[in-house]
Amino acid sequence: MAFALQTNTSKDATLEVIQRLWRTKLKSITLLEKWMAKTTDLEIKAGLKAQLLDERRHLRLLGEEVNRLGGRLQGSALDQMLERPFAMLQAQSNEAYKLSAYYHGIKAFTANRCGRLIPVVDQALAHTLEQIARDEAGHIRWANIRLERVKDIHEQRQIAFFVEKMEGVLETVWSRSRRQLGSVRQRFFAAPR
């Protein structure tokens, strides 16, 4: 068993991050369903449909991990905090902005959080997080192919600015968990082997 699950403090920090990932997946499923219903781009619709299956699988896997770690799957104050990045994304009418904000914002952030957690959790959870991070990377590559269609340099800059705003909002939402996870990582790497 990895160091992160050996103390209550680190177990609580790990559980909090997994719960946030679970809630992010729950919100992603709702977003993708609405996006699929509204988009007229058949290629995007087909891609979102395939990714929706992955999101539902990720939700199930993360839910199982939350239960295994002794947590509960219910709403919290975090749900309100997560509203902002998803509302920003849903407010966009331009598909390129949506793609960038979701895939370079929310998805990239999720993959990053999974990667940071892998070294400090037990093997079963690490395997689940690796699987999710791999799927997220594939989804991001899919979006990048679609975003190559944006040729206008001004629009590319506007999209980059919007993604930066999204990253700032996500950093705010995740800041407490990031600090807790950072202290767990420091203790893990400082511990004698």
| pLDDT tens by residue, 16-30 | 889 989 999 999 999
Q: Choose between 76 and 157: higher pLDDT.
A: 157
Give start and end residues of each alpha helix (H) in the chain: 8-38, 42-68, 77-90, 95-99, 108-117, 123-147, 153-190
Percent of the chain with pLDDT over 90: 50
**Cα end-to-end span (Å), the chain:** 13
Q: Are 115 and 137 in contact (CB under 8 A)?
A: no
Q: pLDDT tens for residues 30-87?
A: 999 999 999 999 999 999 999 999 999 999 999 999 999 888 877 666 667 788 889 8
Q: Which domains does the chain carry?
A: 3-190 (1.20.1260.10)
